[in-house]
Structure 1
Amino acid sequence: MDDTTMLTAYKTLRVTAEGPVLNVQLHRPEAGNAVDGQMLTDLLDVLRALEDDSTVRVMVLSGSGEHFCQGGDRAEFPALLDKDPSGSELRALANKAQRVCATLAQLGVVTIARLHGDVIGAGLGLAVFCDLRVGAENSRFRMPEVGLGVPPAWGGVLPRLAEEAGQAQVRRLLLTAEVFDAARAERLSILHEVVPADDLDAAVTRWVKPILRRDATTMRITKSMLNARAGATQLSAGAYFDEELLTAAMSRRALTRRT
Protein backbone atom coordinates (compact mmCIF):
# COMPACT_ATOMS: atom_id res chain seq x y z
CA MET A 1 0.00 0.00 0.00
CA ASP A 2 2.87 2.33 -0.74
CA ASP A 3 1.63 3.94 -3.95
CA THR A 4 -1.52 6.06 -3.87
CA THR A 5 -3.35 6.56 -7.16
CA MET A 6 -6.15 9.08 -7.71
CA LEU A 7 -8.93 7.45 -9.70
CA THR A 8 -11.93 8.84 -11.57
CA ALA A 9 -12.86 12.35 -10.45
CA TYR A 10 -16.30 12.64 -8.86
CA LYS A 11 -18.23 15.74 -7.85
CA THR A 12 -18.87 14.53 -4.29
CA LEU A 13 -16.20 11.91 -3.63
CA ARG A 14 -12.44 11.53 -3.53
CA VAL A 15 -11.47 8.04 -4.65
CA THR A 16 -7.90 6.79 -4.38
CA ALA A 17 -6.29 3.36 -4.57
CA GLU A 18 -3.40 2.01 -2.53
CA GLY A 19 -2.73 -1.33 -4.16
CA PRO A 20 -5.69 -3.61 -3.27
CA VAL A 21 -7.25 -0.99 -0.96
CA LEU A 22 -9.77 1.50 -2.36
CA ASN A 23 -10.28 4.68 -0.32
CA VAL A 24 -13.64 6.37 -0.87
CA GLN A 25 -13.99 9.71 0.88
CA LEU A 26 -17.27 11.63 1.06
CA HIS A 27 -16.31 15.10 -0.12
CA ARG A 28 -18.86 17.82 0.51
CA PRO A 29 -17.09 19.36 3.53
CA GLU A 30 -18.85 22.69 3.12
CA ALA A 31 -22.15 20.84 3.71
CA GLY A 32 -20.90 18.48 6.41
CA ASN A 33 -20.72 15.77 3.72
CA ALA A 34 -24.52 15.69 3.62
CA VAL A 35 -25.78 12.98 1.28
CA ASP A 36 -27.56 14.36 -1.79
CA GLY A 37 -28.64 12.84 -5.08
CA GLN A 38 -25.31 13.49 -6.75
CA MET A 39 -23.42 11.76 -3.94
CA LEU A 40 -25.70 8.75 -4.24
CA THR A 41 -25.06 8.64 -7.99
CA ASP A 42 -21.31 8.83 -7.43
CA LEU A 43 -21.36 6.17 -4.71
CA LEU A 44 -23.44 3.83 -6.83
CA ASP A 45 -20.98 4.21 -9.71
CA VAL A 46 -18.01 3.37 -7.47
CA LEU A 47 -19.73 0.42 -5.82
CA ARG A 48 -20.91 -1.10 -9.10
CA ALA A 49 -17.39 -0.83 -10.50
CA LEU A 50 -16.14 -2.67 -7.41
CA GLU A 51 -18.49 -5.56 -8.07
CA ASP A 52 -16.49 -6.37 -11.22
CA ASP A 53 -13.00 -5.49 -9.91
CA SER A 54 -11.11 -8.52 -8.64
CA THR A 55 -8.01 -6.47 -7.77
CA VAL A 56 -9.63 -4.63 -4.85
CA ARG A 57 -9.79 -6.49 -1.53
CA VAL A 58 -10.78 -3.75 0.91
CA MET A 59 -12.78 -0.53 0.62
CA VAL A 60 -12.38 2.19 3.26
CA LEU A 61 -15.22 4.72 3.53
CA SER A 62 -14.38 8.04 5.22
CA GLY A 63 -15.37 11.71 5.19
CA SER A 64 -13.44 14.90 4.51
CA GLY A 65 -13.45 17.96 6.75
CA GLU A 66 -14.74 18.07 10.32
CA HIS A 67 -17.39 15.35 10.03
CA PHE A 68 -17.95 11.96 8.48
CA CYS A 69 -21.50 12.87 7.46
CA GLN A 70 -24.18 15.09 8.97
CA GLY A 71 -27.03 13.19 7.33
CA GLY A 72 -29.14 13.65 4.23
CA ASP A 73 -29.32 16.98 2.46
CA ARG A 74 -32.40 18.49 4.13
CA ALA A 75 -32.88 21.08 1.41
CA GLU A 76 -33.17 18.48 -1.32
CA PHE A 77 -36.41 16.76 -0.25
CA PRO A 78 -38.68 19.85 -0.30
CA ALA A 79 -36.95 21.09 -3.47
CA LEU A 80 -37.77 17.84 -5.24
CA LEU A 81 -41.38 18.00 -4.08
CA ASP A 82 -41.72 21.60 -5.22
CA LYS A 83 -40.37 20.55 -8.61
CA ASP A 84 -42.53 17.42 -8.82
CA PRO A 85 -45.50 17.39 -6.39
CA SER A 86 -46.37 13.84 -7.45
CA GLY A 87 -43.34 12.66 -5.49
CA SER A 88 -41.83 10.61 -8.31
CA GLU A 89 -38.45 12.36 -8.13
CA LEU A 90 -38.33 11.99 -4.36
CA ARG A 91 -39.25 8.33 -4.77
CA ALA A 92 -36.41 7.90 -7.27
CA LEU A 93 -33.98 9.50 -4.81
CA ALA A 94 -35.10 7.20 -1.99
CA ASN A 95 -34.84 4.21 -4.29
CA LYS A 96 -31.29 5.21 -5.19
CA ALA A 97 -30.37 5.37 -1.50
CA GLN A 98 -31.79 1.88 -1.11
CA ARG A 99 -29.67 0.61 -4.00
CA VAL A 100 -26.50 2.23 -2.64
CA CYS A 101 -26.94 0.62 0.77
CA ALA A 102 -27.90 -2.78 -0.65
CA THR A 103 -24.90 -2.77 -2.98
CA LEU A 104 -22.59 -1.69 -0.16
CA ALA A 105 -23.83 -4.52 2.04
CA GLN A 106 -23.49 -7.17 -0.69
CA LEU A 107 -20.00 -6.27 -1.92
CA GLY A 108 -17.54 -9.14 -2.06
CA VAL A 109 -14.76 -6.93 -0.71
CA VAL A 110 -14.42 -6.13 2.98
CA THR A 111 -15.69 -2.64 3.78
CA ILE A 112 -14.41 -0.48 6.63
CA ALA A 113 -16.05 2.74 7.86
CA ARG A 114 -13.58 5.30 9.26
CA LEU A 115 -15.70 7.64 11.36
CA HIS A 116 -15.07 11.02 12.98
CA GLY A 117 -17.07 14.06 14.04
CA ASP A 118 -20.80 13.83 13.36
CA VAL A 119 -22.24 10.55 12.09
CA ILE A 120 -25.91 11.38 11.69
CA GLY A 121 -28.92 9.95 9.87
CA ALA A 122 -27.90 8.91 6.36
CA GLY A 123 -24.26 9.01 7.49
CA LEU A 124 -25.00 6.45 10.19
CA GLY A 125 -26.86 4.45 7.56
CA LEU A 126 -23.84 4.30 5.26
CA ALA A 127 -21.61 3.37 8.21
CA VAL A 128 -23.69 0.45 9.48
CA PHE A 129 -23.81 -1.11 6.02
CA CYS A 130 -20.02 -1.44 6.18
CA ASP A 131 -18.55 -4.66 7.61
CA LEU A 132 -16.23 -3.03 10.15
CA ARG A 133 -16.46 0.37 11.83
CA VAL A 134 -13.82 2.30 13.75
CA GLY A 135 -14.62 5.68 15.29
CA ALA A 136 -12.69 8.54 16.80
CA GLU A 137 -13.26 9.30 20.47
CA ASN A 138 -14.81 12.62 19.45
CA SER A 139 -17.38 11.10 17.09
CA ARG A 140 -21.07 11.70 17.80
CA PHE A 141 -24.05 9.73 16.56
CA ARG A 142 -27.73 10.47 16.13
CA MET A 143 -30.84 9.17 14.40
CA PRO A 144 -32.85 12.41 14.04
CA GLU A 145 -35.63 11.26 11.71
CA VAL A 146 -38.54 11.27 14.17
CA GLY A 147 -37.56 14.73 15.38
CA LEU A 148 -37.60 15.92 11.77
CA GLY A 149 -41.04 14.45 11.14
CA VAL A 150 -40.01 11.66 8.77
CA PRO A 151 -39.88 7.87 9.21
CA PRO A 152 -36.50 6.13 9.58
CA ALA A 153 -36.75 4.89 6.02
CA TRP A 154 -33.52 6.07 4.39
CA GLY A 155 -31.68 3.28 2.56
CA GLY A 156 -33.37 0.44 4.45
CA VAL A 157 -31.21 1.25 7.47
CA LEU A 158 -33.67 0.31 10.26
CA PRO A 159 -33.49 -3.50 9.96
CA ARG A 160 -29.72 -3.36 9.44
CA LEU A 161 -29.26 -1.18 12.51
CA ALA A 162 -31.55 -3.37 14.60
CA GLU A 163 -29.58 -6.42 13.47
CA GLU A 164 -26.29 -4.80 14.49
CA ALA A 165 -27.26 -2.95 17.68
CA GLY A 166 -30.39 -4.73 18.95
CA GLN A 167 -34.01 -3.77 18.51
CA ALA A 168 -34.60 -2.53 22.07
CA GLN A 169 -31.67 -0.13 21.97
CA VAL A 170 -32.52 1.13 18.48
CA ARG A 171 -36.10 1.75 19.58
CA ARG A 172 -34.85 4.10 22.29
CA LEU A 173 -32.42 5.91 19.98
CA LEU A 174 -35.13 6.41 17.36
CA LEU A 175 -37.92 7.57 19.64
CA THR A 176 -35.74 9.98 21.63
CA ALA A 177 -33.50 11.10 18.72
CA GLU A 178 -30.79 11.59 21.35
CA VAL A 179 -27.13 12.18 20.60
CA PHE A 180 -24.79 9.43 21.78
CA ASP A 181 -21.02 9.29 21.93
CA ALA A 182 -18.43 6.88 20.59
CA ALA A 183 -18.17 4.91 23.83
CA ARG A 184 -21.89 4.15 23.75
CA ALA A 185 -21.75 3.38 20.04
CA GLU A 186 -19.11 0.78 20.82
CA ARG A 187 -21.25 -0.77 23.56
CA LEU A 188 -24.08 -1.03 21.03
CA SER A 189 -21.77 -2.66 18.43
CA ILE A 190 -22.33 0.27 16.09
CA LEU A 191 -18.57 0.72 16.45
CA HIS A 192 -16.18 -2.18 16.68
CA GLU A 193 -13.43 -0.01 18.11
CA VAL A 194 -12.91 3.52 19.46
CA VAL A 195 -9.54 5.24 19.14
CA PRO A 196 -8.10 8.76 19.47
CA ALA A 197 -8.73 10.79 16.31
CA ASP A 198 -5.04 10.79 15.44
CA ASP A 199 -5.00 6.97 15.50
CA LEU A 200 -7.84 6.37 13.04
CA ASP A 201 -5.60 5.63 10.07
CA ALA A 202 -3.40 3.32 12.14
CA ALA A 203 -6.46 1.39 13.31
CA VAL A 204 -7.69 0.96 9.73
CA THR A 205 -4.25 -0.25 8.64
CA ARG A 206 -4.18 -2.71 11.55
CA TRP A 207 -7.40 -4.26 10.25
CA VAL A 208 -6.44 -4.17 6.59
CA LYS A 209 -3.17 -6.10 6.94
CA PRO A 210 -4.64 -9.43 8.15
CA ILE A 211 -7.57 -9.14 5.71
CA LEU A 212 -5.15 -8.94 2.78
CA ARG A 213 -3.43 -12.12 3.99
CA ARG A 214 -6.67 -14.11 3.82
CA ASP A 215 -7.85 -16.00 0.76
CA ALA A 216 -10.07 -13.71 -1.33
CA THR A 217 -12.56 -16.44 -2.29
CA THR A 218 -12.97 -17.53 1.32
CA MET A 219 -13.64 -13.94 2.36
CA ARG A 220 -16.27 -13.47 -0.35
CA ILE A 221 -18.06 -16.70 0.60
CA THR A 222 -17.99 -15.78 4.29
CA LYS A 223 -19.52 -12.39 3.53
CA SER A 224 -22.21 -14.06 1.40
CA MET A 225 -23.10 -16.38 4.28
CA LEU A 226 -23.38 -13.45 6.69
CA ASN A 227 -25.41 -11.42 4.19
CA ALA A 228 -27.86 -14.27 3.57
CA ARG A 229 -29.29 -13.96 7.09
CA ALA A 230 -29.18 -10.17 7.07
CA GLY A 231 -30.98 -10.07 3.70
CA ALA A 232 -33.79 -12.26 4.98
CA THR A 233 -34.19 -10.01 8.02
CA GLN A 234 -34.31 -6.91 5.84
CA LEU A 235 -36.97 -8.35 3.56
CA SER A 236 -39.15 -9.50 6.46
CA ALA A 237 -38.94 -6.00 7.97
CA GLY A 238 -40.35 -4.46 4.80
CA ALA A 239 -37.23 -2.43 4.10
CA TYR A 240 -37.74 -2.66 0.36
CA PHE A 241 -40.81 -0.42 0.70
CA ASP A 242 -38.96 2.34 2.54
CA GLU A 243 -38.93 4.69 -0.44
CA GLU A 244 -42.74 4.61 -0.48
CA LEU A 245 -42.91 5.41 3.24
CA LEU A 246 -40.47 8.29 2.91
CA THR A 247 -42.22 9.75 -0.13
CA ALA A 248 -45.65 9.54 1.51
CA ALA A 249 -44.41 11.22 4.69
CA MET A 250 -42.61 14.04 2.90
CA SER A 251 -45.55 14.64 0.55
CA ARG A 252 -47.89 14.92 3.52
CA ARG A 253 -45.56 17.42 5.20
CA ALA A 254 -45.41 19.49 2.00
CA LEU A 255 -49.19 19.48 1.73
CA THR A 256 -49.51 20.64 5.35
CA ARG A 257 -46.99 23.41 4.73
CA ARG A 258 -49.00 24.77 1.80
CA THR A 259 -52.42 24.73 3.48
Structure 2
Amino acid sequence: MLNDFKTLHVEQRDEDRVLSIQLNVPEAGNALSARVVDELHTVLLAAEDDPQIRVLILSGAGDNFCLGGDRGEFSSLIAADPSGASLKSLVNKANRMCHALRSTEKVTIARLHGGVIGAGLGLAVLCHLRVGASDSHYRMPELGVGVPPAWGGLLPRLQHEVGAARFRHLLLTAKKFDAALAAELSILQEVVPASDLDEAVTGLVKPLLRRDAESLRTTVQMLRSYESATHFADVSLLDPEVLTAAVLRRELRRQSFAVS
Protein backbone atom coordinates (compact mmCIF):
# COMPACT_ATOMS: atom_id res chain seq x y z
CA MET A 1 0.00 0.00 0.00
CA LEU A 2 2.79 2.44 0.87
CA ASN A 3 4.21 2.25 -2.66
CA ASP A 4 0.95 2.66 -4.56
CA PHE A 5 0.70 6.45 -4.47
CA LYS A 6 1.37 8.70 -7.47
CA THR A 7 1.41 12.06 -5.65
CA LEU A 8 2.82 11.06 -2.24
CA HIS A 9 5.99 9.48 -0.95
CA VAL A 10 5.08 7.43 2.13
CA GLU A 11 7.54 5.67 4.39
CA GLN A 12 7.36 3.92 7.77
CA ARG A 13 10.42 4.06 10.04
CA ASP A 14 11.56 3.89 13.66
CA GLU A 15 10.33 0.31 13.95
CA ASP A 16 7.21 1.33 11.98
CA ARG A 17 6.10 3.74 14.71
CA VAL A 18 6.58 6.86 12.53
CA LEU A 19 4.81 7.40 9.21
CA SER A 20 6.36 10.02 6.95
CA ILE A 21 3.98 11.45 4.32
CA GLN A 22 5.58 13.70 1.72
CA LEU A 23 3.53 15.63 -0.84
CA ASN A 24 5.37 14.65 -4.01
CA VAL A 25 4.23 16.83 -6.90
CA PRO A 26 7.06 19.40 -6.81
CA GLU A 27 6.51 20.53 -10.40
CA ALA A 28 3.05 21.77 -9.31
CA GLY A 29 4.23 23.23 -6.01
CA ASN A 30 2.55 20.25 -4.29
CA ALA A 31 -0.81 21.87 -5.01
CA LEU A 32 -3.74 19.98 -3.50
CA SER A 33 -5.38 18.46 -6.55
CA ALA A 34 -8.19 15.90 -6.38
CA ARG A 35 -5.65 13.08 -6.68
CA VAL A 36 -3.48 14.45 -3.87
CA VAL A 37 -6.56 14.85 -1.67
CA ASP A 38 -7.72 11.29 -2.43
CA GLU A 39 -4.31 9.79 -1.69
CA LEU A 40 -3.84 11.78 1.50
CA HIS A 41 -7.23 10.64 2.71
CA THR A 42 -6.41 7.01 1.92
CA VAL A 43 -3.10 7.02 3.77
CA LEU A 44 -4.53 8.86 6.78
CA LEU A 45 -7.31 6.28 7.15
CA ALA A 46 -4.83 3.43 6.79
CA ALA A 47 -2.55 4.99 9.41
CA GLU A 48 -5.43 5.33 11.84
CA ASP A 49 -6.02 1.58 11.62
CA ASP A 50 -2.37 0.76 12.38
CA PRO A 51 -1.82 0.58 16.17
CA GLN A 52 1.95 0.62 15.75
CA ILE A 53 2.02 4.14 14.31
CA ARG A 54 2.34 6.90 16.89
CA VAL A 55 3.55 9.86 14.83
CA LEU A 56 2.67 11.24 11.38
CA ILE A 57 5.11 13.64 9.70
CA LEU A 58 3.74 15.75 6.84
CA SER A 59 6.22 17.41 4.47
CA GLY A 60 6.60 18.51 0.84
CA ALA A 61 9.07 17.63 -1.91
CA GLY A 62 10.92 20.23 -3.96
CA ASP A 63 11.06 23.95 -3.29
CA ASN A 64 7.75 24.35 -1.44
CA PHE A 65 5.68 22.61 1.18
CA CYS A 66 2.39 23.35 -0.61
CA LEU A 67 1.21 26.26 -2.74
CA GLY A 68 -2.48 25.68 -1.95
CA GLY A 69 -5.43 24.26 -3.81
CA ASP A 70 -5.12 23.49 -7.52
CA ARG A 71 -7.03 26.48 -8.93
CA GLY A 72 -6.42 25.32 -12.50
CA GLU A 73 -8.24 22.12 -11.66
CA PHE A 74 -11.12 24.17 -10.24
CA SER A 75 -11.52 25.94 -13.59
CA SER A 76 -11.23 22.67 -15.52
CA LEU A 77 -13.92 21.05 -13.41
CA ILE A 78 -16.28 23.96 -14.00
CA ALA A 79 -15.57 23.91 -17.73
CA ALA A 80 -16.33 20.18 -17.91
CA ASP A 81 -19.33 20.37 -15.59
CA PRO A 82 -20.92 23.85 -15.48
CA SER A 83 -23.42 22.66 -12.87
CA GLY A 84 -20.58 22.76 -10.31
CA ALA A 85 -21.30 19.23 -9.09
CA SER A 86 -17.77 17.97 -9.83
CA LEU A 87 -16.14 20.85 -8.00
CA LYS A 88 -18.50 20.40 -5.07
CA SER A 89 -17.51 16.73 -4.95
CA LEU A 90 -13.82 17.71 -4.77
CA VAL A 91 -14.43 20.10 -1.88
CA ASN A 92 -16.39 17.40 -0.06
CA LYS A 93 -13.38 15.10 -0.49
CA ALA A 94 -11.14 17.82 0.93
CA ASN A 95 -13.44 18.12 3.94
CA ARG A 96 -13.21 14.39 4.59
CA MET A 97 -9.43 14.37 4.23
CA CYS A 98 -9.00 17.35 6.57
CA HIS A 99 -11.35 15.76 9.09
CA ALA A 100 -9.21 12.60 9.03
CA LEU A 101 -6.08 14.66 9.74
CA ARG A 102 -7.78 16.79 12.40
CA SER A 103 -9.31 13.82 14.20
CA THR A 104 -6.42 11.35 14.12
CA GLU A 105 -5.23 9.81 17.39
CA LYS A 106 -1.61 10.01 16.18
CA VAL A 107 0.62 12.98 16.94
CA THR A 108 0.99 14.99 13.73
CA ILE A 109 4.04 17.09 12.82
CA ALA A 110 4.28 19.51 9.88
CA ARG A 111 7.77 20.04 8.39
CA LEU A 112 7.47 23.34 6.52
CA HIS A 113 9.73 24.98 3.95
CA GLY A 114 9.42 27.28 0.96
CA GLY A 115 5.89 28.44 0.25
CA VAL A 116 3.11 27.46 2.66
CA ILE A 117 0.14 29.02 0.93
CA GLY A 118 -3.65 28.98 1.23
CA ALA A 119 -4.97 25.46 1.68
CA GLY A 120 -1.36 24.37 2.24
CA LEU A 121 -1.18 26.66 5.25
CA GLY A 122 -4.48 25.31 6.51
CA LEU A 123 -3.25 21.74 6.06
CA ALA A 124 -0.13 22.52 8.10
CA VAL A 125 -2.13 24.14 10.90
CA LEU A 126 -4.24 21.00 11.26
CA CYS A 127 -1.09 19.32 12.60
CA HIS A 128 -0.35 19.35 16.33
CA LEU A 129 3.29 20.46 15.98
CA ARG A 130 4.79 22.68 13.29
CA VAL A 131 8.45 23.35 12.49
CA GLY A 132 9.36 25.83 9.77
CA ALA A 133 12.51 26.83 7.93
CA SER A 134 13.65 30.36 8.71
CA ASP A 135 13.32 31.30 5.02
CA SER A 136 9.83 29.82 4.58
CA HIS A 137 6.94 32.14 3.74
CA TYR A 138 3.18 32.09 4.29
CA ARG A 139 0.06 33.63 2.78
CA MET A 140 -3.72 33.37 2.62
CA PRO A 141 -4.27 34.54 -0.99
CA GLU A 142 -7.91 33.56 -1.51
CA LEU A 143 -9.44 37.05 -1.67
CA GLY A 144 -6.68 38.12 -4.04
CA VAL A 145 -7.72 35.45 -6.55
CA GLY A 146 -11.44 35.97 -6.08
CA VAL A 147 -12.54 33.02 -3.95
CA PRO A 148 -13.45 32.69 -0.26
CA PRO A 149 -11.31 30.55 2.10
CA ALA A 150 -13.85 27.71 2.01
CA TRP A 151 -11.78 24.54 1.74
CA GLY A 152 -11.63 21.64 4.15
CA GLY A 153 -13.05 23.55 7.12
CA LEU A 154 -9.70 25.29 7.54
CA LEU A 155 -10.92 28.83 8.28
CA PRO A 156 -12.08 28.18 11.88
CA ARG A 157 -8.94 26.17 12.65
CA LEU A 158 -6.66 28.97 11.46
CA GLN A 159 -8.64 31.59 13.33
CA HIS A 160 -8.54 29.47 16.49
CA GLU A 161 -4.76 28.98 16.28
CA VAL A 162 -3.81 32.54 15.27
CA GLY A 163 -6.45 34.61 17.06
CA ALA A 164 -9.38 36.39 15.43
CA ALA A 165 -7.94 39.90 15.12
CA ARG A 166 -4.57 38.89 13.70
CA PHE A 167 -6.13 36.34 11.39
CA ARG A 168 -8.63 38.87 9.99
CA HIS A 169 -5.71 41.10 9.05
CA LEU A 170 -3.85 38.31 7.22
CA LEU A 171 -6.97 37.09 5.44
CA LEU A 172 -8.38 40.44 4.33
CA THR A 173 -5.04 41.89 3.18
CA ALA A 174 -3.80 38.59 1.67
CA LYS A 175 -0.33 39.71 2.73
CA LYS A 176 2.73 37.48 2.55
CA PHE A 177 4.53 36.96 5.86
CA ASP A 178 7.71 35.31 6.99
CA ALA A 179 8.60 32.55 9.45
CA ALA A 180 9.32 35.01 12.26
CA LEU A 181 5.78 36.39 12.13
CA ALA A 182 4.38 32.87 11.68
CA ALA A 183 6.05 31.93 14.98
CA GLU A 184 4.71 35.06 16.68
CA LEU A 185 1.22 34.07 15.49
CA SER A 186 1.67 30.48 16.81
CA ILE A 187 1.47 29.08 13.29
CA LEU A 188 4.99 27.81 13.91
CA GLN A 189 6.19 26.46 17.23
CA GLU A 190 9.81 26.20 16.10
CA VAL A 191 11.83 28.09 13.49
CA VAL A 192 15.20 26.69 12.37
CA PRO A 193 17.57 27.10 9.41
CA ALA A 194 16.40 25.03 6.44
CA SER A 195 19.42 22.77 6.82
CA ASP A 196 18.30 21.88 10.37
CA LEU A 197 14.68 20.99 9.60
CA ASP A 198 15.14 17.22 9.70
CA GLU A 199 17.09 17.43 12.94
CA ALA A 200 14.37 19.59 14.50
CA VAL A 201 11.66 17.13 13.48
CA THR A 202 13.70 14.25 14.88
CA GLY A 203 14.03 16.21 18.12
CA LEU A 204 10.24 16.25 18.38
CA VAL A 205 9.76 12.61 17.42
CA LYS A 206 12.25 11.03 19.82
CA PRO A 207 10.52 11.97 23.10
CA LEU A 208 7.13 11.02 21.64
CA LEU A 209 8.37 7.50 20.97
CA ARG A 210 9.52 7.22 24.58
CA ARG A 211 6.05 7.99 25.93
CA ASP A 212 3.60 5.30 26.97
CA ALA A 213 1.57 4.60 23.82
CA GLU A 214 -1.83 4.54 25.54
CA SER A 215 -1.14 7.74 27.51
CA LEU A 216 -0.06 9.49 24.33
CA ARG A 217 -3.18 8.41 22.46
CA THR A 218 -5.44 9.45 25.34
CA THR A 219 -3.78 12.86 25.58
CA VAL A 220 -4.33 13.48 21.86
CA GLN A 221 -7.99 12.49 22.30
CA MET A 222 -8.34 14.90 25.23
CA LEU A 223 -6.81 17.77 23.28
CA ARG A 224 -9.23 17.15 20.42
CA SER A 225 -12.18 17.00 22.82
CA TYR A 226 -11.24 20.29 24.49
CA GLU A 227 -10.93 21.96 21.11
CA SER A 228 -14.27 20.58 19.95
CA ALA A 229 -15.95 21.99 23.05
CA THR A 230 -15.21 25.53 21.82
CA HIS A 231 -17.09 25.00 18.54
CA PHE A 232 -20.88 24.99 18.44
CA ALA A 233 -21.32 23.97 14.80
CA ASP A 234 -19.32 22.39 12.01
CA VAL A 235 -19.22 25.26 9.54
CA SER A 236 -17.10 23.19 7.15
CA LEU A 237 -20.37 21.63 5.98
CA LEU A 238 -20.98 24.88 4.08
CA ASP A 239 -17.60 24.91 2.30
CA PRO A 240 -18.61 22.94 -0.83
CA GLU A 241 -21.59 25.22 -1.49
CA VAL A 242 -19.69 28.44 -0.80
CA LEU A 243 -16.58 27.63 -2.84
CA THR A 244 -18.49 26.18 -5.78
CA ALA A 245 -20.74 29.24 -6.00
CA ALA A 246 -17.73 31.58 -5.88
CA VAL A 247 -15.79 29.73 -8.58
CA LEU A 248 -18.89 29.60 -10.79
CA ARG A 249 -19.29 33.38 -10.46
CA ARG A 250 -15.60 33.92 -11.23
CA GLU A 251 -15.75 31.76 -14.36
CA LEU A 252 -18.91 33.51 -15.57
CA ARG A 253 -17.18 36.89 -15.18
CA ARG A 254 -14.19 35.65 -17.17
CA GLN A 255 -16.43 34.39 -19.95
CA SER A 256 -18.33 37.67 -20.11
CA PHE A 257 -15.06 39.63 -20.35
CA ALA A 258 -13.83 37.32 -23.12
CA VAL A 259 -17.03 37.84 -25.13
CA SER A 260 -16.97 41.63 -24.71
TM-score by length of 1: 0.95
For 1:33, the equivalent position in structure 2 comes to: 30
Look up the equivalent residue of 2:248 and give its one-letter code.
S
- The superposition leaves residues 116-150 of structure 1 with CA deviations (integer Å, 9 ceiling, x where unpaired) of 00000111011000110000001000000011110
Q: Which moved more, 1:216-225 or 1:76-85?
A: 216-225
Distance 1:212-1:62 versus aligned 2 partners, 3 A rule: same
1:132 is matched with which residue?
129
Q: Where does residue 246 of structure 1 map in the other structure?
A: 243
Residue equivalent to 2:153? 156
SS of equivalent to 1:81 = helix
In the TM superposition, residue 235 of structure 1 has moved relative to its aligned partner by: 5.2
Aligned to 2:4: 9
- The Cα shift of 1:240 comes to 2.0
What's the secondary structure of 1:138's corresponding residue?
coil
SS at match of 2:32: coil
Mapped pair 1:42 → 2:39: yes
Contact 1:13 1:26 in 2 (8 A): yes
Q: How does 1:53-68 map to 2 (within 5 A)?
A: 53-68=50-65
* Deviations 1:75-131 (CA, angstroms, capped at 9, x unpaired): 100100111111111001001111111110111110000000000011101100011
Q: Distance in 2 between matches of 1:232 and 1:28?
A: 36
Q: Which runs of 5+ in 2 are unaligned?
A: none
Shift of 1:195: 0.2
1:180 aligns with 2:170: no
For residues 188-224 of structure 1, what are the alpha-carbon distances to aligned partners after superposition, in whole Å with 9 as ceiling and x for unaligned? 0000000000100000111101111112222222212
Code of the residue aligned with 1:7 in structure 2: it is: L
- 1:118 pairs with 2:115: yes
Change (3 A) 1:103 1:69: same
Asked if residue 101 in structure 1 is aligned to residue 98 in structure 2, the reply is yes
C-alpha separation in 1, matches of 2:45 and 2:189 = 26
- % same residue: 57
**Matches of 1:178 and 1:237 in 2, distance apart?**
27
Residue 3 of structure 1 aligns with which residue?
none
Q: Is the 8 A contact 1:160 1:234 kept in 2?
A: no
Give the letter aligned to residue 173 of structure 1: L
User: Where does residue 144 of structure 2 map in the other structure?
Assistant: 147
Q: How many corresponding residue pairs?
A: 254
Shift of the 59–79 alpha-carbon distance from structure 1 to 2, 3 Å rule, reads same
Q: Distance in 1 between matches of 2:152 and 2:107?
A: 20
User: Where do 5+ consecutive residues of structure 1 fail to align?
Assistant: 1-5
Alpha-carbon offset, residue 231 of structure 1: 3.1
TM-score w.r.t. the length of structure 2 is 0.94
